[in-house]
Structure 1
């Protein structure tokens, strides 16, 4: 049987539909967006709202809809997931994410905390001491319902204790037990981030005890997570899958076999994988489309190998020094520029790729106006500033 070939043009059509970026594919609500994308990057809180708003048929209710889903209905949950990164997931996927990626990351995070704490306190703070403190802190959090670390410290003052991270090294610095412990408890799935302090752009969160979820066999959970992700991002290479999940390549290959993924050839000669029921090409009569996506958007950060949608010559302007992508302008499945906001809230953009001509120059302003209409007076500064965004915002 001949290997199916999926070229870059077809990949861009698949992206437009699966990622809800074509106007014809836009969603009705935030839960629909989250389920379509599997995970929304949550390291920068504003990313979640901007990513959802870009994909809604009517973005006017983006903020209210997401706050209701996250904090009232609890249909979406913000938690640590792949690569020790904070994401927003559909609540029904929490157990799958935790078993497939969280358990391994959590074990390393707790071991690192214990080692750093004991060494950095010269043995004054022990594992037994930490177990007692965290039990007390979790009980206080359960009583309060939601609380900031500052509020928890009132109930459990030992959370204020400090130790020296990297003791004796050039980078040594003081760490507080509270900040490290809450991070570990988050990765372990025992606490989740609740409402922010202030507006939806705030980076300061309250914490809450995580709702219970069933334990799943890790291999079963890995297969389910990969199946969902491949359904959204296929075709993808082994390298893409290893990077996105943070798994070992052996785990990636086992999961690919478990879901019956089918190898396909890609432009450039690489081998990608799709689900067996997604071999047929999608409809290609899409209307031309533009999108203004935020920094760390799940589409822009969906693959490790990005040449097919992000020309290499654009990366110096659009990425920071740590590999975080900033706000991007898209045209028909390719990144063609970047955008930012000035101090008065005006959305401004720059095209770095001239391909597309007049259609791009008309489509991008319309999408920028759509973004401005629901942002209103809110000023959003990305957590990770990139060269082009800083220049546009100045």
Structure 2
């Protein structure tokens, strides 16, 4: 049996640099190219989408991402992997729904109906509230083409202002607004979609508009085909990667991941630590080493969050400074495919960074230049990550 191809860490870092549009000469002209290259960009924190794209544009800025999201609709916000909100290419949305979102939304609906029933609101009450929300959005379409905020919907639909008791009798018992739960579910299902926010591009107060007809629940064969397609698209950008990496990224079960890898004929390779990785069958050629490069990437950036096993680009000794208690990576400083520090924006607008290892004078000059460029992109905007890390807090203290 022939030996499996081997991908050392330098090869993986070279692929990361080029395929994630971070190496010199790889920057994109349009936001759609960036999102397509990354497959999906975390959108839980709105700033992540804009800063992740800006870091990979030949002319860094936020205007082109606004165009793609709100004018052209070529990039969409959708719940997907691990029930998380992502910005994805519009052409990926059907496969994302069939492979991942439909199952998560069905589970969310089951939980919602159970929690609402426990507070005396049966399925008929919930259905009536849903119809009232969608009717309000439809009625407002002419006068408010950009949609309605959650607050405006609550004014139009009084049921949304009611509350339920959650976790009664447990240590985490709390009160939840009906609107918070119901709007999230309708957003997951796609019955309503987020549009331009109130305020600037860092705002999370989005307006809502009616979505397209919600597709039928995918049949098992449709789900399997969509998972194979999504796995192939992810491997093209993130391979070589392990089964664990794909299980973590997608939130699928191990059996589903193995079936998807087999369906896209993924080839086994050996990684530097001796573990088994996977690439697409026509993607075994070595990647030339790029020229030296630096980058300042935002909290939750797809490159930092793209793999479960990260030792090949993130030193374990640096994690306590750069990762929060839930495992979210904060703003990171990169040099040649490795995380070497973190950055933060101070109240006066300055972009400050701290290097956790000495990368040498060339790297320090390059990082300083990237910080200055990011300061220009941010202009008068102030960005505080939703998930804060020890280093980011220290830099802004």
Q: Quick one: which of 209, 225, 231 aligns to 1:226?
A: 231
Whether 1:377 and 2:361 are equivalent positions in the alignment is no
The corresponding residue for 1:105 is 104
Instruction: Compute the RMSD of aligned alpha carbons.
Output: 1.2
Q: How does 1:292-331 map to 2 (within 5 A)?
A: 292-331=296-335
Shift, 1:143, TM fit: 2.4
Whether 1:9 and 2:5 are equivalent positions in the alignment is no
Q: Deviations over 1:352-382 (max 9, x none)?
A: 022x311111110011111112211211111
The corresponding residue for 1:390 is 393
Shift, 1:282, TM fit: 1.3
Counterpart secondary structure, 1:278: coil
Whether 1:335 and 2:339 are equivalent positions in the alignment is yes
The corresponding residue for 1:169 is 170
Q: How does 1:174-323 map to 2 (within 5 A)?
A: 174-212=175-213, 217-284=222-289, 286-323=290-327
Q: Deviations over 1:85-141 (max 9, x none)?
A: 01000111111101100011111111111111111x1xx211111011101211211
Shift, 1:175, TM fit: 1.1
Aligned residues: 387
Shift, 1:5, TM fit: 0.2
The corresponding residue for 1:140 is 136
The corresponding residue for 1:365 is 368
Gaps of 5+ in 2: 142-146
Task: Select between 376-385 and 303-312 the one with higher mean Cα deviation.
Answer: 376-385
The corresponding residue for 1:44 is 45
| Residues 1:112 and 1:85: Cα distance change in structure 2 (over 3 Å) | same
The corresponding residue for 1:94 is 93
Shift, 1:213, TM fit: 7.4
Whether 1:81 and 2:85 are equivalent positions in the alignment is no
Task: Select between 62-71 and 341-350 the one with higher mean Cα deviation.
Answer: 62-71
Task: Select between 23-32 and 166-175 the one with higher mean Cα deviation.
Answer: 166-175
Task: Select between 169-178 and 31-40 the one with higher mean Cα deviation.
Answer: 169-178
Structure 2 Cα separation of the partners of residues 40 and 270 of structure 1: 27
Asked whether the 8 Å contact 2:189–2:214 carries over to 1, the reply is no
Structure 2 Cα separation of the partners of residues 100 and 189 of structure 1: 14
Counterpart secondary structure, 1:79: strand
TM-score by length of 1: 0.96
